Amino acid sequence: MKNATAKGTFEIKSWDEKKPAEGDPKEWLSRGRVTSTLTGDIDGQAETEFLMAYVGESAGYVGMQRVTARIGGRSGTFALQGSGSYEAATQIAKSEWTVIPGSATGELVGLRGRWSEFAQKEPRGSITFEYGFE
């Protein structure tokens, strides 16, 4: 199958972030677990584990994401690994993700691709997923 593009939105449903206690010299490091609903060409949900490093109110982050969704008429799960940033001055969050080879299940077995997210000032953002199958 040749490459396809799926577009959709994500909306954060829960955000559980573990920050160190007040006064901890490593207070700039944080862990978070985020659950999102996916709609559009990508219909389902995502669970993400983040490790974030704050610089003031801005942050850089790395993460792993498990997606359960229907994409291009196929259903299954797959895992993504990625990184991104949040810029407090503009309230823009953006990230890039890559499908972990061999992680797809169900009708998505053989999935490969790159997933981009963009959000500004809201718990809702956009997704662009360039994908194909081996």
Full set of structural domains in the chain with CATH = 4-18+27-133 (2.40.350.10)
Cα separation, 42 vs 111, in Å, equals 14
Q: Backbone phi, then psi, for 97, in 5-degree steps?
A: -130, 150
pLDDT recorded at residue 18 = 84
| pLDDT value, residue 23 | 60
Alpha carbon distance 64, 81 (integer Å): 5
Q: State both tokens at 71.
A: 């994409």
Would you say the C-alpha torsion 74, 114, 117, 29 has a positive or negative sign? positive
Q: Which residues of the chain have pLDDT under 50?
A: 1
- What is the per-residue pLDDT for 2? 67
Contact 30, 15 (CB under 8 A): no
Tokens of 81: 């690994």
Identify the pLDDT of residue 131. 97
Q: Residue 19: its pLDDT value, please? A: 75
